[in-house]
Amino acid sequence: DIQMTQSPSSLSASVGDRVAITCRASQSIRTYLNWYQQKRGKAPKLLIYAASSLQSGVPSRFSGSGSGTDFTLTISSLQPEDFATYYCQQSYSAPRTFGPGTKVDIK
């Protein structure tokens, strides 16, 4: 199985801050990497697929980059509705695996 790690596990930030979350795969997954946002009590929501493609309807302040084993999700200017937990997920091979999540809360 491909193991996914994320850092940091949590962070505190203010509205307007630029935030970056990193994800690392245990082997190369090319660009088969997705990012999801999950708010408390809700299902995850797809933000970024194929490492850098913005899902339809997702604000442009979200962006993704990386390939191989190292990836980054960036929120250019944090908004109140962005406080949530973010997960990366690889779709390079089965079993699909997720990172442990990064919780973004209000400073």
Partner 1 sequence: QVRLQESGPGLVKPSQTLSLTCTVSGGSISSGGYYWSWIRQHPGKGLEWIGYISYSGSTNYNPALKSRVTISVDTSKNQFSLKLSSVTAADTAVYYCARDSPSGFLEWYSFDYWGQGILVTVSS
Phi, psi of 64 (to 5 degrees): -130, 150
Of 25, 44, 82, 104, the one binding partner 1 (CB under 8 A) is: 44
Task: Give CA–CA dist 92/84, Å, rounded.
Answer: 25
Residue 26 binding partner 1, by CB under 8 A? no
Residue 24 binding partner 1, by CB under 8 A? no
Residue 59 binding partner 1, by CB under 8 A? no
Phi, psi of 82 (to 5 degrees): -90, -5
Of 14, 81, 94, 107, the one binding partner 1 (CB under 8 A) is: 94
| Nearest to partner 1 of 32, 71 (CB atom) | 32
Least separation, in Å, of the C-beta of 16 and partner 1?
28
Q: What number of chain residues touch partner 1 (CB under 8 A)? A: 25
Counts for the chain of helices (H) and strands (E), in that order: 0, 11
Least separation, in Å, of the C-beta of 23 and partner 1?
13
Bridge partner list, 11: 104
Task: Give CA–CA dist 46/15, Å, rounded.
Answer: 22
